[in-house]
Structure 1
Amino acid sequence: MLNLLGDQAYLNSYQLDIYDTSFDKLMQKRIYKVLLICSSYDAFLLEEDGRIDEQIFNEYVSLNLRYPPVFLQAHSAREVLRILQEEHIDLIISMLNVGEMDTFKLAKMLKHRYPSIPIVILTPFSREVSLRLQNEDLSAIDYVFCWLGNADLLLAIIKLIEDKMNAEHDILEIGVQTIILVEDSVRYYSSFLPNLYKIIFRQARMFMTEALNEHHRMLRMRGRPKILLATTYDEAIELYSKYKNNVLGVISDISYKVNNKRDHVAKAGLQLCRHIKADDPNIPFLLQSSELSNKIYADELCVGFLHKYSKTFSLELRDFIVNNFGFGDFVFRDPDTLAEIARASDLRQLQQLILTIPDRSLVYHSSRNDISKWLNARAIFSIAQLFKPMRLKDFKSIDDARNFIYYAISAYRLSKGRSIIAKFDRETFDDYKFFSRIGDGSIGGKARGLAFVNQVIRKYNLFNKFENTIITIPRTVVLSTDIFDEFMESNNLYSIALQDLDDEVILDAFLKAKLPERIKIDLRKVISVFQRPLAVRSSSKLEDSHYQPFAGIYSTYMVPHSDNPDQMLQNLAKAVKAVYASVFYKASKAYMNATQNVIDEEKMGVIIQEICGNQYGNMYLPTLSGVARSINFYPIGSEKTEDGVVSIGFGLGKLIVDGGVALRFSPKYPKKILQLSSVEMALRQTQKNFYALNVDPNSFEPKVDDSSNLLNLDIREASSIPDFRLITSTYDMHSGVLRDGYYDEGLKLVTFAPILKHDTFPLAKILSELLEIGEREMNNHIEIEFAANLNPPSGMPNLFNFLQIRPIVDSDQTELVEWNEIDIKKAILYSKSALGHGKVKDIHDFVYIKPESFNPAMTKEIAHELDELNKRFTELKRNYVLVGPGRWGSSDPWLGVPIKWSQISQARVIVEAGLENFRVDPSQGTHFFQNLTSFRVAYLTVNPYLHDGTYDIQFLNSIPAWFETKYIRCIRFEQPLVIQVDAKTNQGVILKPENG
């Protein structure tokens, strides 16, 4: 195998750098709105044909463009002027006969008022029309076409004008190729151009295979050859002189005007052919004529000839272009016999054949610029332009030329191959590298999820599927796990990390350690490109696996942006080291023990990515963040389990993953939201606080609590933030009415009504599609995290950041539950809202918070008592049932006990039980909730005061406690409890043991 580094070294001796073309810079000028001036009858025919919109739409989708052109119709001069005043029109197309209007007078008036808008006239084909056109002043008309009802013509017109608009930049600056067509007959170029564009598009679809992913395939289509039309000899000479270094070939009539004179010059095409061939004898030239006798001139000039009346005209045209313009496969030939020696259908095959073809074949094709022509036709401009000016005499030998071509192609392919997950190169890292890796080890679970998300976005063309919205992952750099290994070993940190030390001690030791110097240099390059605040996230080898997703176990730090690169680098390095330290915190060790993993086998990757959002004063935050799940364990009303569920909030996503009050809805029914079903409920159960990043870089100092530099603010402090107006409703205290939208007077509530009810942003549609696609691609129920910026800079689309995807670990759903055989009257607890499936066995202990002692103000003390009790169960290696009021795992102590998973890790059944004066919706969409489901913990909700399930607290109180504190009681039964959960009916029951 040839050494790729050697390839690059060879090219470096020529001081050459080869990169792929920036296809996103091509075709910047587009036809978005077309004004069609026609009679009602013509409009009817166009609509009945039905193929125009379809063809144009399909072509635009294939080019990965955001907006296909819109056709607006006008049937009178007054309508024309009104539309031009109200709309930005890019092209005017008028039928020749439009009722009372004189088309040519109207065109003059429009060109005078709107000189930059191209005007095209469509005419029927007849001798009378041709005579009329000869006597009309066509100075205001850009093109005249013959309309025979063929929808392909409109597509060709739009592409021809777009090619003309973009020619100078795309051809001269980027290297896009052009085909010059010289024809003055309206009848012929009207049929010729659609044929020519079909051939061009077919070629473009072929060279899409040179790309390594779907997104780049679409972009490469923009590099297709352009077609430029000349109708006189002088126009043809002007086009050739301007673009001659990028001309694939010329197709010319034989007789046409010179210098816009009225009479044809009989042999103008031959004169043009001699002129061009004298300048470049290798340019393919095709002469066409309605007189077959003119073929003799083509033969004398050794160029192609096409008879306009030939019955196989289209096939002959296609064959000539494929065989002479570099389209199709590259065929190596024997220069003496022109017999085929070898054939290459792609760049890889061409590269290999370069090493083996005979010298005489290489000399033949090189002297004719065939290789550069073939590369240009496939939009591989960088190496094509490298080869074209070179001659064999520029090299020491044939082998030297052969090696140069081989290594140049090798370098190009190497560079292009890095475009999916690019290996980080601080010399070439720039804004176009969306996903790069530093190091050679694993990128970890979260990073794999991000890479998978990026692939899904490309595969399903989601990037710009929704109008005025970009769906993408954040710009990302990943430090792979080998950097973690090197950091740990070079600083001798395992000796400290594996000890039973306080988290603060471990963090301090890691912050004092040093990152490898080369990594700091790489990070300095990263911050020179990333100009937004950065999220530094864990990506361990175990995170987001199918069976043990470590959701939220390790730390995520948000680093504010600093214009001082030294300070920014220092803060970023601290964040990376703090993420490494979080592997060895007590909670992480407890989790590893619970999952029976070994802590010193865990390897940590680190994700560095830009944070979605905007800065307002000392705050930085997105418009919204959220978590969506493809399965809804608590469907309400007409919702179904498979419809999924979403939790969204204003500001950073910490609100959601920590279990704060957010808005819950099904993406299938975004207008039906339980929390907004009454004004009273909306006032009580909508978001009361939000998180934002403190943008002061001096405030950043990593703590064990990774949210230490986040601002937890009252929702009333959001009133000055422009984004807040996009997601609120206003409560009028005088009328008692909740109005959708932001109004100056009244209490503002976070309802997302403008988005969910009035579709100002297609959030529900986006999430429905992402959940459906993600579930299908992962073959599993999934959870995704996302954020969106709905207040982008002027002229920019809205941004939907797809942040993460992970599987939801499902219980086995093969066991059937015979509910008619279960006596609910014997239940300690029965729930109609249960998560999980199957029997939970070998549980003897029942732990519950005493309702009479419960006080929301004391939930932190309750959490401490549970932590101590859980340690005893851990030592005894026993599991238990845990019942308590409110929301387990919430960061808000007023919603329930603010417990961490490590503090109740021995619980195998967890119940949220409402009290008469303390009722909270069940938690979903939190990391805590995700970890419960990953361990297949049965999860039940009961609200006996609302006649929703049963909870026999009197039975429990009648049994002596095995252990009791101020707030909790633990009952131990001699016989195991009978615990059954049924995911299909969402029922769960805990029965009293037979012997008590």
Structure 2
Amino acid sequence: MAYSSHVSTGWESLDAIIDHLRTGDNVVWQVDSIDDYQRVVTPFVNAALARNDRVVYMRFGRHTALVEERPDLAVYHLQTENSFESFSVQVHNIITREGRDVCYVFDSLSDLLHLWATDRMIGDFFFVTCPYLFQLNTIAYFALLRNHHSYKSIARIRETTQVLIDVHNYKGQICVHPIKVEHRYSPTMFFPHIKEKDALAPVINSVEATRLFSHLSRSSTAGAQRHLDYWDRLFMEARTLLESDAGPAERQDMVQQLSRLMLTRNKRMLALIREYFSLEDLLQIKERMIGTGFIGGKSVGMLLARNILAREEGFDWQGVLEHHDSFYIGSDVFYSFIVQNGWWQTFMAHKTGEGYFDRAKELKEKIPHGSFPDEIVERLTLMLEYFGQSPIIVRSSSLLEDAFGSAFAGKYDSFFCVNQGSPEKRYREFEGAMLRVFESTMGEDALAYRRQRGLDRSDEQMALLVQRVSGAYHKSYFFPELAGVGLSRNPFVWKKGMDPGAGMARLVFGLGTRAVNRVENDYPRIVAMDDPLVKPLAGTEDIRRFSQRFVDLLNLEENRLETVSLEGLLEKEVPGRIDLVGVRDTEAAQRLREMGRPEKAHWILTFDPFLSQTPFVTTMRRLLSRLETVYESPVDVEFTVNFAENQAMQVNLVQCRPFQGLDDSVGRRIPETIDRRDTVLRVAGNFMGGAVWRPISRIILVDPEPYVALSMSEKYSVARLVGKLNRLIKDREAQATLLMGPGRWGTHSPAMGVPVSFAEINQVSAIAEISYQSGSLIPDLSFGTHFFHDLIETGIFYLAVYPEDPEVVFNPEWIYALPNQLPALVPEAARFSHVVNVVDTVGTGLVLQSDMVTQVAACYLAPKAG
């Protein structure tokens, strides 16, 4: 571009009216048709090319091309099948590559409505793109079709752009009316101008001006609907269609259109939505939606599962399922939040390879200090008025969450709002919870998860699901009777003869947080649906030791989530169906009598009465089987259980997602004649990962005894060391690694195991949790938890090793006999060589194998062929 600040539009008469264009100008043309826009684009492009300026055409509209392709014109055909983020990133990257002093022509922005269905996002796109173009000293042409957008959207674009010009057709003539021309002025600049031959003459005469504007006002369709966003007008059309005599096919077309704008673009999910959602369903969702965009994977999964069950004949799901009155905060709210707080450039830098983690950290620090626009604040306030002082939970519901192959289990946060206090206080706490969920999108574990699955460049907007907490008031506490996780396939069969297809559940008393997280020094009840009263650990002392002893609940007086001991809760005489979830600990009562101490009730939460005296098992088996059948995939659900006044059991289905299936094929058999000295470990049951046969190239063993002797800070150092060793694994298939250690991997407390994050073990092929009784380090059969989902999705085989079990073989001496490679691999960590053993086993014939027939898994030296 010529470096003069004055640039021609290619139309000499228009140049005279607006005193030429200026470098940095964004020029918005408001037109009646694309033909009118093309009339102003053509001379601009021709003049720019004649000056030897660089001209770029951004092609994305459904309308005819504005300019013909030619060698001296750069044309970019933009991908439009994805959302605001993908489109904006494409444009941003092109502008960055093209650099300074470029002339741009964009297709009509109005064509983006068929992609995003909202004026707000078009305004956001312009708001982030226009300043960047200005910064690079460019000139850019944009168009908007008149009467297609809300007044508010046009006002926002007018405020952002440097030049805004109306183009009308008047009695077969072109009328050009400058509305805004920044930093320029002439006595007739803002009059309408009629084209006469090649010249534009101002309409100054009052008679002609009145006649002109009367004509324009009659031809305009501006009315009450122009006060609404296109999104609202679209749903008004859908409501009108529903109330009309339109046939099923026409309604189904509208369901498909709205589903792609509001529910998902995932083809597998859309196929299910077409079958199980009606137009009425979508309009009901819209009524409870704040903002625009998608409601996110978690919301879709919950609603889809409920609809699947409601449409099943032969069972009264309406009588069993607790109703819900959830609200949905649309995914566009997240993008608008980033845009309007001025962080879009930082967000763009985060989407690059080099800025992926660093700029995310910067955003993570900024997000808690952001603010929402007034209209969103107003809608949130009305929602809170609806809930009153009932406890609610703000749950993440991102676009990719709970999808086929990407559960994002535990990667994003959810927060309870106990919701007590003044309206102002309740709003502050709710907004704080929203911001913390948004902040979790930039968490290191979530970022690593996305990158490992090749999703780091994918759109990942954060929508929110706001649910009423299921439960009841118990004096100053609020919690459900039970909560848990259900899986339609039992991945961890611990007893021969169990049917994996019957499913399993993980039950807790109180809030379900203890079911989905690996909690410290506490154990939920694991239930095999085909044999619900059988426990993985059967001795009385084991049942007492490995049972739930703490309860998560909402403290209404202190307005917070709290963990209390079961004993302490019962001492306050909190009512509840304790007789259904527990049995009296008569041995503990006897010990108190023998010690001469006052007797008090002691309970062990076995859940046996609940499992044997209620229809829970048959109901849950039916629920899981039905959902798996329709999904054509194993599913995982989260639920609560309460009892109505008539004692009828009510199940609240709060979440449903597919999870990656396990390979339960028979596979090859483990040889029966393997020498014990050639066996590193062997377990009966207590493994997860289906049928595997995998050569092992490396073993990393955190030795239980010296680990227990370390200080707290040293244990954390060992966890970080494991992370470094994990990052040295460049190819999980070529360098299959078995990671072994005491207690629970991924625990928060070093007293329970090795406190690694999942990102610090995500490259290994198998992990073993070793029981170390003297250190109270016990594996956790964690299926159903977020940790479990990480293992399944990453394809990490899992074993729980109990050396004290006579059927278990654990032979660490085999490992000790090999050279420890730790000092060579991580020299600065050599001081931990007595704790962390790293041995290379390439060429030894070491394999990890599981036998689904005998339910045995072993790591052993395979006999050489021949």
For the aligned pair, the TM-score class normalised by the smaller chain equals 0.5 to 0.7
Letter in 2 for 1:686: S
The match for 1:448 among 300, 315, 326 is 300
- What is the CA–CA distance in structure 2 between the aligned matches of 1:839 and 1:734, rounded to whole Å? 44
Equivalences for residues 439-838 of structure 1 within 5 A: 439-460=291-312, 464-465=316-317, 470-472=320-322, 474-496=324-346, 498=350, 500=357, 506-531=363-388, 532-562=390-420, 564-598=422-456, 601-632=459-490, 633-636=492-495, 639-660=498-519, 661-675=523-537, 677-695=538-556, 709-719=560-570, 720-723=573-576, 725-726=578-579, 727-733=581-587, 745-757=600-612, 759=613, 761-790=614-643, 792=644, 794=645, 798-813=649-664, 816-820=667-671, 823=674, 825=676, 826-833=678-685, 834-837=687-690
Match of 1:980 in 2: 849
Query: Is 1:991–2:860 an aligned residue pair?
Result: yes
Cα deviation 1:408-451 (Å, max 9, x = unaligned): xxxxxxxx9764243566xxx6xxxxxx3334422222112111
Provide closer, same or farther for how the CA distance between residues 690 and 442 of structure 1 changes in structure 2, counting only shifts above 3 A.
same
Letter in 2 for 1:710: L
Match of 1:899 in 2: 756
Q: TM-score, normalised by structure 1?
A: 0.51
Counterpart secondary structure, 2:245: helix
Shift of 1:751: 2.1
- What is the CA–CA distance in structure 1 between the aligned matches of 2:242 and 2:566, rounded to whole Å? 58
Shift of 1:549: 1.8
- What is the CA–CA distance in structure 1 between the aligned matches of 2:712 and 2:639, rounded to whole Å? 30
Counterpart secondary structure, 1:847: strand
Cα deviation 1:363-408 (Å, max 9, x = unaligned): xxxxxxxxxxxxxxxxxxxxxxxxxxxxxxxxxxxxxxxxxxxxxx
- What is the CA–CA distance in structure 2 between the aligned matches of 1:671 and 1:555, rounded to whole Å? 33
The match for 1:351 among 238, 245, 249 is 245
Provide closer, same or farther for how the CA distance between residues 728 and 962 of structure 1 changes in structure 2, counting only shifts above 3 A.
same
Shift of 1:864: 4.2
Match of 2:798 in 1: 939
Query: Is 1:962–2:808 an aligned residue pair?
Result: no
Provide closer, same or farther for how the CA distance between residues 495 and 502 of structure 1 changes in structure 2, counting only shifts above 3 A.
closer
Shift of 1:649: 0.9
Cα deviation 1:658-698 (Å, max 9, x = unaligned): 223111122333333355x443223212111111124358x
Task: Judge conservation of contact 1:859–1:898 (CA < 8 Å) in 2.
Answer: no
Equivalences for residues 169-318 of structure 1 within 5 A: none
Task: Judge conservation of contact 1:885–1:896 (CA < 8 Å) in 2.
Answer: yes
- What is the CA–CA distance in structure 2 between the aligned matches of 1:983 and 1:519, rounded to whole Å? 54
- What is the CA–CA distance in structure 1 between the aligned matches of 2:317 and 2:456, rounded to whole Å? 44
- What is the CA–CA distance in structure 1 between the aligned matches of 2:710 and 2:622, rounded to whole Å? 42
Letter in 2 for 1:775: E
Counterpart secondary structure, 2:563: strand
Equivalences for residues 263-412 of structure 1 within 5 A: 351=245
Cα deviation 1:480-525 (Å, max 9, x = unaligned): 2222222222223355563545998644411211223222222222
Shift of 1:911: 1.0
Q: TM-score, normalised by structure 2?
A: 0.59
Letter in 1 for 2:341: N
Counterpart secondary structure, 2:304: helix
Counterpart secondary structure, 1:907: coil
- What is the CA–CA distance in structure 2 between the aligned matches of 1:601 and 1:746, rounded to whole Å? 54
Provide closer, same or farther for how the CA distance between residues 876 and 901 of structure 1 changes in structure 2, counting only shifts above 3 A.
closer
Match of 1:874 in 2: 727
Cα deviation 1:548-575 (Å, max 9, x = unaligned): 2211111111111135333222222221
- What is the CA–CA distance in structure 2 between the aligned matches of 1:840 and 1:496, rounded to whole Å? 46
Task: Judge conservation of contact 2:449–2:759 (CA < 8 Å) in 1.
Answer: yes
Shift of 1:961: 0.9
Shift of 1:656: 1.5
- What is the CA–CA distance in structure 2 between the aligned matches of 1:896 and 1:861, rounded to whole Å? 13
Task: Judge conservation of contact 2:471–2:479 (CA < 8 Å) in 1.
Answer: yes
Match of 2:83 in 1: none
Provide closer, same or farther for how the CA distance between residues 770 and 693 of structure 1 changes in structure 2, counting only shifts above 3 A.
same
Letter in 1 for 2:488: S
Provide closer, same or farther for how the CA distance between residues 957 and 464 of structure 1 changes in structure 2, counting only shifts above 3 A.
same
- What is the CA–CA distance in structure 2 between the aligned matches of 1:888 and 1:539, rounded to whole Å? 27
Bigger-Rg structure (1/2): 1
- What is the CA–CA distance in structure 2 between the aligned matches of 1:594 and 1:472, rounded to whole Å? 37
The match for 2:715 among 852, 858, 862 is 862
Cα deviation 1:710-757 (Å, max 9, x = unaligned): 21222212202212534222122477599xxxx984312222233123
- What is the CA–CA distance in structure 2 between the aligned matches of 1:924 and 1:578, rounded to whole Å? 27
Shift of 1:952: 1.9
Match of 1:246 in 2: none
- What is the CA–CA distance in structure 2 between the aligned matches of 1:350 and 1:637, rounded to whole Å? 60
Provide closer, same or farther for how the CA distance between residues 441 and 664 of structure 1 changes in structure 2, counting only shifts above 3 A.
same
- What is the CA–CA distance in structure 2 between the aligned matches of 1:503 and 1:710, rounded to whole Å? 28
Structure 1 gaps of 5+ residues are 1-346, 354-415, 430-435, 700-708
Letter in 2 for 1:970: V
- What is the CA–CA distance in structure 1 between the aligned matches of 2:344 and 2:721, rounded to whole Å? 28
Cα deviation 1:532-553 (Å, max 9, x = unaligned): 2111111122222222221111
Counterpart secondary structure, 1:723: coil
- What is the CA–CA distance in structure 1 between the aligned matches of 2:504 and 2:510, rounded to whole Å? 19
Letter in 1 for 2:836: I
More relative contact order in 1 or in 2 (CA 8 Å, sep 6+)?
A: 2
Shift of 1:626: 0.7
Counterpart secondary structure, 1:683: helix
Cα deviation 1:36-68 (Å, max 9, x = unaligned): xxxxxxxxxxxxxxxxxxxxxxxxxxxxxxxxx
Letter in 2 for 1:946: D
Task: Judge conservation of contact 2:589–2:602 (CA < 8 Å) in 1.
Answer: no
Shift of 1:944: 3.3
Cα deviation 1:242-301 (Å, max 9, x = unaligned): xxxxxxxxxxxxxxxxxxxxxxxxxxxxxxxxxxxxxxxxxxxxxxxxxxxxxxxxxxxx
Provide closer, same or farther for how the CA distance between residues 460 and 724 of structure 1 changes in structure 2, counting only shifts above 3 A.
same
Shift of 1:896: 3.2
- What is the CA–CA distance in structure 2 between the aligned matches of 1:654 and 1:523, rounded to whole Å? 25
- What is the CA–CA distance in structure 2 between the aligned matches of 1:824 and 1:875, rounded to whole Å? 32
Counterpart secondary structure, 2:576: helix
Provide closer, same or farther for how the CA distance between residues 754 and 994 of structure 1 changes in structure 2, counting only shifts above 3 A.
closer
- What is the CA–CA distance in structure 2 between the aligned matches of 1:583 and 1:734, rounded to whole Å? 47
Match of 2:289 in 1: 437
Cα deviation 1:118-174 (Å, max 9, x = unaligned): xxxxxxxxxxxxxxxxxxxxxxxxxxxxxxxxxxxxxxxxxxxxxxxxxxxxxxxxx
Match of 1:929 in 2: 788
